[in-house]
Structure 1
Amino acid sequence: MGPAAGLDFVRLFLSACERCLREHGTPIADQAFPEHWLAQIPVADRSLALLDPNAPQPLEGMSRAIGRLVGLGARTVAVACNTAHAWQATLQRAQPDVELLHIAKETAAHLRASDVNSAMLLATEGTYRMALYQQAFEAYEIGCVLPSVREREALMEGIYDGVKAGRLELARERFAAVGRVLHERHGDLPMVMACTEIPLAMPFVDEARQWMLVDPAEVLALALARRAYGLLEGNE
């Protein structure tokens, strides 16, 4: 994931931990938070790797990072980068002693629990092409509304030329344009921001405050926090 998105995921995780503590009547204190680590290492671009098999591949770097976390004692690992989940199954097989959460499945389960029947998907081209969310949504009988080719291009510009390049104004402009068209076309369906760079800009667009924005990284962070506290479904 991008470094800014990695730092933001830690914020989401700590917020999710606070939620778990409040829900179970536990006072919030430094000592109440679970032991956790952030592994942030440079890996090859995930979208490019999916689009071009001759491009540098990220699998080795991600596997090395997860191995280091396992060596520290981690039992559950969350990979906040959506596109990186193209290698989720391979990484899980390589590290059978750790639970590797799946961001799309967690998001689909969250939407279904919220009685959502259909949602719009904002993502990278790589995520669209591997049908990561389309498959997860289908398993939960949730309709997946996709942007047009031109709208996908605008999203990619916002992600790469905007957030990743430190140009948040450009990112907000591109994301807002796509969100506006989708909202006009499909109404008040939830917009799933399935790239960790999108939530760093989209929520700060004035009109986006009227849209139903869903951040899969936030969903993933809550799933990680619940496991850290042993609050699996059926045990809460």
Structure 2
Amino acid sequence: MRLLLVEDDDHVAAALSAVLAKHGVAVVHARSGEEALQALLPQDAEPFAVVLLDLGLPDQDGFEVCGRIRKLCAIPVIMVTARSDVRSRIHGLNLGADDYVVKPYDTGELLARIHAVSRRNASGGADQQAEESADGDGLRLGPVNVELATRQVSVDGTTVPLTRKEFDLLALLAQRPGVVFRREQIISEVWRTSWEGTGRTLEVHVASLRAKLRLPALIETVRGVGYRLVVPAPAAPGPPPASPAS
């Protein structure tokens, strides 16, 4: 696994790189936001699996770097920072970060988070499980088709009427299949408000989507964290028809 470490402190970067190397992670160190963005440009080298992004960078704020990375590519980003307040965490997740680790952290936990986001990206990333439709404004997720421009959803070709918030919720999850969205992030992006008092509303909308789409396993509850969209596997072909008796 190749990992891009964006950290302006050389001592911190060296120590962390040594630990990660012992666990089979090849680290490329970038000392600034611009250096990180340059490293992510298309090149012949093996692509990075994860970006470990410190927020306190010398040239620009890490939040800004995260936003620019997300416009550039879909690589998983883990923010690493001493900012532990909830507002900063929500802001980072809203910008497209996949996880948020507060310093000081346990190295074992950090490794687990690195492997978790890289697995989700490899097995459930939008580039593999959601195919863009010909006009570039839709997502195909197994039998489900989500047309972003017209805000229409169909299952096996049959249109399913959804409310405005139901569509917004489905579209949010559908654009990054397999990635776990925290409840706070969903509430912030879909309802444009804080988590307090809105949790039950989210649960009701998830239940309604499962019922309307008739695919209860499409939206998976990640206990204690949030929800993610799981693309249904294609149906197995049935047995061939029996040959007529002679």
Query: Higher relative contact order by CA 8 Å / sep ≥ 6: 1 or 2?
Result: 1
Give TM-score scaled by structure 1 length. Answer: 0.27
More helix, by proportion:
1
